[in-house]
Every structure is written in C-alpha cells, then in structure tokens.
Amino acid sequence: MIPTTTAHGGLTLPVLGFGTYKLKGHAGTAAIERAIASGYTLLDSAFNYENEGSVGAAVRASAHHHAARDELIVTSKLPGRHQQHAAAIATIEESAARMGLASLDLYLIHWPNPGQGTYVEAWRALIEAKERGLVGAIGVCNFLPEHLERLHADTGVLPEVNQIELHPYFPQEEQLVYDREHGIITQAWSPLGRGGEVLEEPTIVGIAEAHGATPGQVILAWGIARGVVPIPKAASEERQRENLGALELRLTGDEVAAITALGRADGRLKGQDPAVYEEF
C-alpha cells in the first residue's frame, strides 16, 4: 500500500502515481497493466494522449486479478479546444466511454489557456460533472495562483489537484506553497525531466550513491519529501518497480535542499509558461 495525502475536499491520493503519456495501443495497455500489478493505483491520462482506450482496457483487465475498480484512481483531462460548457460535458462523457468505465475518479482542466479566456466556463462544467457523478473529483493542471484565485472568486470552488511541471530544474517553490496553503494536492508532471540530463546531475548521482539508490529514486523521493505527488511514466516493469522503490528512501533535509537548489528560472523543459503558453 502506498501512503496517501488528502486534499481540502476529501480527495485522497497515493503519494506516487503513474503517468501514461505515450503508452498506447496493445503495448501501452500491457505496460499499464504491469504498472497496476506492480502496485500503482493512481493512473494519469488525458483526452489528448489518445490513449484513454488503452488505459481503460488495462483497468478493466486488472479488475479480475490485480486491483478492483474502486482501488484505482483513473484520471483524464479536458483539452483546450473543448473548454466551452456543452463541449466540456460531452468530452468528459466521451472520456468515460473511451475508457469503457461508468465514471472517472479525477478530471482535470489540461491547461488554463488564459488568452482563450474560457477556463472559468470549463471549471463550471467540471463542477456540474462532479455533481452529476460523471467524475469523482475535479482539479486542474498548469494553473498559476492568479488562475486559481479567479476560479475561487467566480465559482467559490477550488480544485483539489493542480498538476504542474516539477522536477529538480524547476522545483516550483512558490506554487507549492500556494497549493499547500489552499489544501490543493500538487502533482508533478515530467518528474524525472522526461528521463533526460537531470538523471546524470552530479548532486543527484552523489546522493543516490550515498543511499545505494538510483538517481530516479532520489528525484522521486525528493518530490514526495516536499509533499508532491510525482506521476512518473515508465514502460518496463523493471523501471516501474524501481520508481516505486522511491517510497523506501528517506532523504535528509540537507539533501532535499541541495536538490531544490538545482532549480533555475529557465528550468522548464520546453519553456511552457502557463501565463502565455496555450494548448488545444
């Protein structure tokens, strides 16, 4: 059992989840089934990943032997092009249909797209979807404090999850404080920097050697120690289990601080600043 964390509205999530971007088709379903068999219960997907079918197939297949449906938290996300109210409701219904599931456990707005100017309308649709039982809980991705303030001011409802880019090169100290103070769970996307150079960062490799752990485990343990829910993606059972091993690793306060100090203002992987970046 993975330890859990709880948001302001009672949503309880494991402190480590599983990303599925790029896992699709039969190979994707098999990889997601392996992840569920290994012990992951929080599955992240999105309408735009074009893999809701594969995720749903893995969830349905696992129900017979690995994990009952109610042990899993199945997530999807609303794309920018469907933020208008009626389109948003239809998209949420379509996500569940593609998954082959009666309802989803968590639904997120994928990007605020402030220039488009419809994220409050999308949020009202998510509130309605939750009230109608189409989804169990609702949240957002890539929201800055100003976007969250706007949701609260206009609807009185704050998201329970904010899923943001977060890794050692972009530790998101201010957003983390904001989310924590408002009872919002911060999930980390690309927590391993997409498997790139951060895994060879000398500070991280040194800490890994000191603990007899791997760099990936150190990075995920750093996130968990800061109260973040990382959602690493890994295709192989070996790496899926390696990443779960982060739960056994306890970093010192100095080690956590040394990794956070690797952060830099331009540390986003692809410069996707939600204040200006829009995705449809």
Ligand X SMILES: NC(=O)c1ccc[n+]([C@@H]2O[C@H](COP(=O)([O-])OP(=O)(O)OC[C@H]3O[C@@H](n4cnc5c(N)ncnc54)[C@H](OP(=O)(O)O)[C@@H]3O)[C@@H](O)[C@H]2O)c1
List interacting residues with ligand X (CB under 6 A). Answer: 19-21, 44, 110, 141-142, 163, 189-195, 199, 214, 216, 231-236, 239, 242-243
Does residue 161 contact residue 130 with C-beta atoms inside 8 Å?
Answer: no
Is 107 an active-site residue? Answer: no
Of all residues in the shown chain, the one whose CB is closest to ligand X is: 19
User: Which tokens sit at 68?
Assistant: 């009952």
Distance, in Å, from the CA atom of 209 to the CA atom of 187, rounded to the nearest integer, reads 27
Looking at the chain, the number of H-run helices and the number of E-run strands are 10, 10
To ligand X, the closest distance from the beta carbon of 112 in angstroms equals: 11
Shortest Cβ distance from residue 57 to ligand X (Å)?
A: 17
Our CB check for ligand X shows the closer of 57 and 231 to be 231
- Considering the complex, state which of residue 101 and residue 234 has its C-beta at the smaller distance from ligand X: 234
Catalytic residue, chosen from 49, 107, 119, 169, is: 49
By C-beta, is 79 or 129 nearer to ligand X? Answer: 79
Strands (E) across the chain are located at: 4-6, 12-14, 18-19, 42-44, 73-78, 104-109, 135-141, 161-165, 185-189, 229-230
Q: CA 186, 191, 194, 198 torsion: positive or negative?
A: positive
| Residue among 96 and 112 whose Cβ is closer to ligand X | 112
Other beta carbons within 10 angstroms of residue 267's beta carbon come to 18
Rounded to the nearest whole angstrom, what is the least distance from the CB of residue 138 to ligand X in the complex? 14
Half-sphere exposure of 213 (CA within 13 A, CB side): 26
Least distance to ligand X from the beta carbon of 169, Å?
11
Active site amino acids: 49
